[in-house]
Amino acid sequence: MADFLTSEWFAEINATLASRKLAATDTWRVVLSWDDGPAQLPHAVTFSAAGGLLAVEHGDHLAADAVIVLSYVDAKALAAGELDTAVALREGRIKLRGDSAAVVAMANAIRA
């Protein structure tokens, strides 16, 4: 797997997400944001579903349904599968603002 947040990482993740089948009516945007990452890397990523397609892009989206705030280290660990979301939530390492249903939809789509 490519290094977290590199162009190669986005290409690999989007290729995987493109294989996910979503209902055409699924529409949401969820931002994962951190303030403590390396300056040369994005400070956030946005997962989105629209028209049956699932994708991730660098940066945050002003019309996001939900924002998940966490540390860069935790974001990297989640992306690598080294940190369980339930554990991170239970330990208070993830803060959620906005529509939790969008986060659940995102998690289900990514897991599928």
Q: How far apart are CA 43 and CA 58, in angstroms?
A: 8
Backbone angles phi, psi at 55, to 5 degrees: -150, 165
Residue 76 has what pLDDT? 95
Tokens 């906005």 appear where?
A: 98
Other beta carbons within 10 Å of 91: 10
Q: Domain-by-domain residue ranges, the chain?
A: 7-111
Residue 103 has what pLDDT? 92
Confidence of residue 110 (pLDDT cuts 50, 70, 90): confident
Sign of CA dihedral 11, 72, 36, 104: positive
Residue 112 has what pLDDT? 65
For residue 38, what are the contacts with CB-CB under 8 A and spacing of at least 6?
Answer: 72
- What is the average pLDDT score of the chain? 93
What is the third-level CATH fold of 7-111? Answer: Nonspecific Lipid-transfer Protein; Chain A (3.30.1050)
Q: Is the predicted pLDDT of residue 9 greater than 80, yes or no? A: yes
For residue 10, what are the contacts with CB-CB under 8 A and spacing of at least 6?
Answer: 56, 57, 58
Q: Is the predicted pLDDT of residue 73 greater than 90, yes or no? A: yes
Bigger pLDDT: 34 vs 24: 34
Between 23-27, 43-47, 56-60, the lowest mean confidence (pLDDT) is in 23-27
